[in-house]
Chains A and B, each alone.
Chain A
Amino acid sequence: MTAAVLAALAALASALASIVAVRHQNRVTEGNERKRRAFERHLPHYERIFVSARSLQDSFRDYRIVSRRVTDRSDLFLRQLLMIVSKSAYDYCYEVHWRHNPGMAYLDLNLESKCLHVRDLLMQWLSHPRITTGDVSSIRVAGVYVRRSLTDVRSLKPGDYQELHIERRVVVQPFTGDPRLLADIDSALTAVIVDLKAVMAF
């Protein structure tokens, strides 16, 4: 008698355990399904953030490399790179704003914070004045133009040059803020890109 009751109880417990396991499995499946649907719906938005972050990092690195190497700060190429990186920064800041990109509302809270952290760093970088208009002077001696500073030109005497050439140019000033900010932006962007890759590979 006791053995029969115990067997019945064991069977009941087993059945209950099975039901709980099945319900849990169903819940997990439903959860995954919901996540998948949400993911599929917002994938293009995540892609937009990813593309803007990647473009920004590429253009930012290009600008940093050329900015370090260039000897003439009025170089048009440097200015073009600055315009590209500024435009990329604007695009990124636009894409990580939930008003412009509904995908931000569905991002993991941690990843959202990382995206916004990059934006805050970019704001710091962009807030530094970088473009100034200045005069670039050179003198022609024996038919060859030689760059001379405006201070040097003031001390020249008649006969020191054949021609004094002064040109008004737009000059890209080097970044005068904390140099760690540039490295911080790059590493923060890398973190965002890696995490977004993981999200998109879901």
Chain B
Amino acid sequence: MQSKAVVSAFVLITVPANRSGDVVDRLMDDYSEFVVEAAAVYGEADVIAKMETPSVDQLHQLVMDKIQNLPGVQVTRTFIIIPHLHRVR
């Protein structure tokens, strides 16, 4: 059995008012392969998405070339999850 190495990250996205829903939909529809979950939130960021990619290069590519180019996306802040400190219930 081969274990699949995965890089996980939380990406906080800033979008103009009333565009959060569109961005959440685009993330889940267009990049379902990498976006595990996405939600519009109250607070400092407008959308938070959790992503999983096979490598950090692909994560950077996804954030810089795809998500950053989604209509309305102004700022992305990427936080890579430390694997051995990541717990999911």
Contacts and interface: CB of A to CB of B under 8 A. Distances in A.
Interface of A: 135, 137, 150, 153-154, 156-159, 162-168
A164 B78 contact: yes
A135 B64 contact: yes
Interface of B: 7, 56-57, 60-61, 63-64, 68, 73-80
Given A165-B76, A168-B74, 4 more contacts: A154-B61, A164-B76, A166-B78, A167-B74
Contact of A166 (B57, B63, B79, B80): B63
A178 to B, nearest CB: 34
Contacts of B57: 154
A137 to B, nearest CB: 8
Contacts of A153: 60, 64
Closest CB pairs A-B (n = 5): A164-B78, A167-B75, A166-B76, A158-B80, A168-B74
21 contacts: A135-B64, A150-B64, A153-B64, A154-B60, A154-B64, A157-B56, A158-B56, A158-B80, A159-B80, A162-B79, A163-B79, A164-B60, A164-B78, A165-B75, A165-B76, A165-B77, A166-B68, A166-B76, A166-B77, A168-B74, A168-B75
A138 to B, nearest CB: 10
Contacts of B56: 156-158
Contact of A156 (B60, B73, B77): B60
Contacts of B73: 168
B69 to A, nearest CB: 9
B7 A166 contact: no
A168 B15 CA distance: 11
Contacts of B64: 135, 137, 150, 153-154, 166
A120 to B, nearest CB: 39
A166 B61 CA distance: 12
A53 B67 CA distance: 46
Contacts of B60: 153-154, 156, 164
A18 B61 CA distance: 95
Contacts of A159: 80
A162 B80 CA distance: 8
Nearest to A161: B80
A162 B12 CA distance: 13
